[in-house]
Structures are given as structure tokens and as C-alpha cells.
A = this chain, B = another copy of it.
Amino acid sequence: MAKCFYCRNQAVTFRPYSGEYLCSSCFLKSVERKVQRTINKYSLLEETDIVAVAVSGGKDSLTLLTILNKLEQRFNETKLTAVTIDEGIKNYREESLKFAESVTSELKIPHKVYSFKKLFGYDFDEVIETLREYGFDKSSPCSYCGLLRRVALNIAAKDAGATKLATAHNLDDESQTVIMNFLRADYIRALRTGPKLEKIHPGFIPRVKPLIEIPEREIILYAYFSKLPLHSQTCPYAQDAFRNDVRAFLNKMELTRPEVKYNILHINNRLRSVYMNLEAQLSLNACIECGEPTSQELCKKCQLLKILNQIKAGTHKT
């Protein structure tokens, strides 16, 4: 293989979108610089922030934590704390919980686990079992899990006294989401997609995505070269056919147009900045039941719990 673009050592990887050959050490530094640039470019973090990092224990979140921990050394006042959501998915979450535990303790970062069971009264396994028994199968399990996880993360971040919540969404995740929003004509969700979701409600911890410009492939390489543990189990519920189709399409497009995922991010940012006059549509209320920020009167999490409770009690009417 060719020589590293920076140090002339043996290169181990190639970036099709920039034409760079990189050795493992320069590759790691380059990814870290890129994350720092993303943070600066979109003003994701400030020096005085207390950052709750959402750590599932998968490759993306462990990479995010590792990089933010390195960058934090330069900023004395920034504090990192890790929060993990245990959805309660058997034969899946156990391994990554261990990884989250071991990496946070190695990096000496405070870490707290919040379970769906404790927060909402149901394991995710129970949620799906209950819904399936009752014949609900319209939405993919991922959408139910996602809505509960979002609420859980906001509660966890508030509990940790955080001023920001950092999630590990990467370039692939984000470009897929932008296209999915587009194909669904969901411009409200499109407005909520991007590197940073501001404090749109007093009870809402602003969310930032420092890995948004890092391709998934580079995160896998980063985790590998950094000797981070690699989660081997896949979620038994993962079956988002829509996302899978969009992923396959973008990966195909990328073969001949290496910059395509960046283009999608770029135009979405551009559009968001233009239609920010629609921002009023983003404003949230406090849920009348639980007080968490929501665009509804009763938040979607409480709507779901209400249905689950009714099913359990045999009082649900469709």
C-alpha cells in the first residue's frame, strides 16, 4: 500500500472522499482533529459545559467517549460524564453494558446506568411482547425503542446535571436520516435533524453530535486501532427495512461519488439555516403527565405507556 500522506510511514487506510492515504497513528489523530473541527464549526460544546455522553457500549459511543476524553484534556473546565440506557433486551445489551462499564472505568469517567424498567416500568422485551400479543405491528420496534430512549437520555442527562447531551450519530446514520425525512416529506423532523438541537424547552438538554462528519467505516477503524472492545451481538429487534434500503442506496452511490453523504449533510444544514423561520414549529410543551418536553399534549412515551397499561389491564380499545 501507499505511504501515509502525513508521515510517510506505511499507510493502512485510504479515504476515497479526500484522496488521503494514512497510517494508523495519523489516522487516529486525523479523526480526532476532525471531531474537534466539527465541534468548533457548529459550536457544539463550550468550555464550561458538563457533557453527558450517551454510551451504549457499541463502537460508535465508545469511540465518541474516547475522543471527547482526549479533547477534554485541553479544556480544564469541561466535565464529561457517561450515561447508559439499559433498554432491557435479553441476549443483546448485556455485553455492551460490560464494555460501557470497563471503558468508562478505565478512562475514570463517572458512569450511570438507567433502565427502561426502572424509568417506565417495562423492559423493552416486555413492551414488544405486550404490543405483539395485542396485534400491534405497524411501526418497527426501532421507533418505539427510539422514542423511549430519547426520553430516558433526557432524564439521565438532567440527573447528571449536564448542560449538553452528546450522542454518537455518525455520517452514515445522519445522511440516512436526512434522506428518510425527505422521502417521508417530514420537514418537521428534518428541522430536528442536524449537528445540534438547541434548548427548545427549559426541560430539554441540548443535543450535540460530534461524530456527525465521521463515516461509519472510519469509526470502526478508529475503534479497532484504539483497541476498543467490539460489540459482537446485533439487536434482535433491528429490522428497520426503510433505513436498510436507504443505507444500501447511499453506500452504492458512494462508490462512484465518494462525497455524497457529506453533500446530504451540507444541503440539509443549508436548508435548515434557511427555514429556521419555521422554528416556532419546533417549540415544545411539558407533557401533562410526566413533564418531559414534547410536541404533543401527552408525550409519545406516556401515550405508549398508557396503551401498555391498558393492554395489561384488559381495558384497551382500538
Contacts and interface: CB of A to CB of B under 8 A. Distances in A.
Nearest to A274: B275
Contact of A274 (B183, B249, B252, B274): B274
Which one of A249, A253, A256 has the greatest number of beta carbons of chain B within 10 Å?
A: A249
Interface in A176-228: 179, 182-187, 190
Contact of A185 (B187, B241, B264, B278): B264
Contacts of A183: 253, 257, 260, 263-264
A270 B257 CA distance: 27
A266 B185 contact: yes
B263 A185 contact: yes
Nearest to A185: B263
A267 interface: yes
Majority-rule SS of A interface residues: helix
Complex copy number for this chain? 2
Interface in A263-318: 263-264, 266-267, 270-271, 274-275, 277-278
A144 to B, nearest CB: 19
A271 B266 contact: no
A175 B242 CA distance: 18
Contacts of A184: 263
Given A182-B182, A274-B274, A275-B274, A187 B256 contact: no
A245 interface: yes
A215 to B, nearest CB: 16
A1 B70 CA distance: 66
A187 B271 contact: yes
A281 to B, nearest CB: 11
A315 to B, nearest CB: 33
A277 to B, nearest CB: 7
16 contacts: A182-B182, A182-B263, A182-B267, A183-B264, A184-B263, A185-B262, A185-B270, A187-B267, A187-B270, A190-B267, A241-B256, A242-B256, A242-B257, A271-B271, A274-B275, A274-B278
Shortest 8 CB-CB distances between A and B: which pairs? A185-B263, A274-B275, A185-B267, A249-B249, A185-B266, A183-B260, A187-B267, A187-B270
